[in-house]
Amino acid sequence: MEGPTETPPTAGTSSKLVSFPESTWNNEDKKLPKPSTPRHSFPLNLLTFFGTFFSKSRARKKPVGVQRDPGRKILRTSTVSRISLYKMASSIEAVPYKWPHDSSFDSKTTALVIIDMQKDFCSPGGYMEYQQYDITPARNIIPRIQALLSAFRSHGFPVYHTREGHRPDLSTLSSRELRRSRNNASGLGIGDAGPLGRLLIRGEKGHEIVDELYPIAGENVIDKPGRSAFQHTEFRLMLNIRGIKNLVICGVTTDVCVHSTLREANDNGFDCVLVEDCAAASTRPLHEFAVESIKEEGGIFGAVTTSDKILRAMSVVRDEKVVLNGAPKDVSTSKCEV
């Protein structure tokens, strides 16, 4: 066994370094005990966890990015939640009676129905132009329907959109209807090719609802092969399941699809109101005749009102300039005073 060796002291020191050869080490001496980790009590661990969690939460809430210029104006849309801070009226001024007749105007009993505001009826190159009719009246009502739609959405009312159109194989189109649709100067009708695709055919561009009124998530679209939204559809079933008994109706055309839907809804027990300035026909006389017929005999088919009266009942006023989906800037918005 080798003994220890001495190392001579260096200059300026008085101590000696003693070293042992590695062969003299005991194997047990190499296994040095690990330092023990202090164990925290349960309450201390819990406090440490929550302290870390809340510090991270506060860090996430700190503003990031460029600060907004305080002088910059913010464009507002009319779909703001503050509209709901108002208490709505239970009825709307209408002719020939306050609507609904039982003062039950609220989001649980009432729905907005927008009839056939499709590109085929409202846009250049669509079906209506091939029928030799001016689409200007249909285009003119879009901003007012847009304001109405925004108010109904903000108040949580159910909204239904309808579209008239046929299957691509024309299996839902009668021979009489096909011939009727081609009885015009162009000779083109349902199923024929146009700039927006085949006229009044489901899946084509012309069959889509105009961009300004396009449905959002949760809004049902009723595809119908004819004039009334109740014929060959599930519309009545959907309304009954939701407990809807009042319908606010607008769209095109007043004398055809709008009137057909309104009259059949009336026969099925619904209390209907036509929004006169949110509906249009191919000619003014046809629109006026359809409106007047609703009001006869004390409201034989329902009542007639305007968008301003509805917005007033919903505490929405036309006093701000807003930009909404690229539509004309003069649309309704909410004014809330609390």
Helices (H), the chain: 27-30, 42-60, 119-122, 127-130, 136-140, 142-154, 175-181, 235-242, 259-267, 284-299, 307-313
More confident residue, 80 or 292: 292
The pLDDT of residue 265 is: 98
Q: What is the mean pLDDT of residues 21-31?
A: 49
116 belongs to the catalytic site:
yes
Q: Which of 122, 223, 255, 257 is catalytic?
A: 257
Q: Is-contact 120 257, C-beta < 8 A?
A: no
Question: Could you tell me the end-to-end alpha-carbon distance of the chain, in angstroms, rounded to an integer?
Answer: 98
DSSP assigned state of 201: B
Which range has the worst mean pLDDT, 77-91, 117-131, 133-147, 173-187?
77-91
Catalytic residue among 119, 223, 224, 271: 224
206-220 pLDDT, tens digit per residue, is: 999 999 999 999 999
Does residue 257 carry a catalytic annotation?
A: yes
**Residue from 116, 120, 255, 308 carrying the catalytic annotation:** 116
| Short-list 8, 47, 42, 219, CA closest to 117 | 219
| 241, pLDDT greater than 50 | yes
pTM: 0.71
Structural domains of the chain ordered from first start:
92-117+145-175+219-334 (3.40.50.850)
